[in-house]
Amino acid sequence: MKSARIAVAVLITVGVCGLSSSSFTNAFAQIKAGKSRPAATKYLMRGVVKSHCGDLGSMLKEGPKDDEAWDTAACHAACLNEMSYVLMDDGRCPDGVWAAAAGTTLREGSAALMAAAEAKDLEAANAAFKTVTSSCAACHKA
């Protein structure tokens, strides 16, 4: 009788751990890639987000020098804004921190950055860029 209770307890424990593990794995997988598209999230972050943020950061340190440079800044901001949608799509969003960072902070900051670049307003562009980079910190420090 005692061994039967132990066997049942072991089966329940294994079952609960298996369910918890599969739930954790599914949530973690959403961070790594979308559900139906093959691009790994880390490649989208490195290839699109990081490259556009890096170029913008360099450009905004001294300010865009001419109309073409301001247009390039607006282009970088537009790409980051589009990424705020991509990062929320296809099951990539695992939690509320991600949703706030990508779906709200990155989206609003990059839209403000586009507007500032179109107005050629360096002070507003730098403020908006700070908002954009705070969206990165929200997840990467969480």
Q: What pLDDT is attached to residue 1?
A: 53
Q: What is the pLDDT of residues 119-142, one digit of tens each?
A: 999 999 999 999 999 999 888 875
Helix (H) or strand (E) holding 23: helix 2-32
| pLDDT band with cut points at 50, 70 and 90 for residue 109 | very high
Question: Environment class of residue 61 by beta-carbon count within 10 Å: exposed (0-12), middle (13-18) or buried (19+)?
Answer: exposed
Nearest to 117 by CA among 82, 73, 83: 73
Q: What is the pLDDT of residues 36-72, one digit of tens each?
A: 999 998 999 999 999 999 999 999 999 999 999 999 9
pTM of the prediction?
A: 0.77
Q: Give the separation between CA 142 and CA 93, rounded to whole angstroms.
A: 14
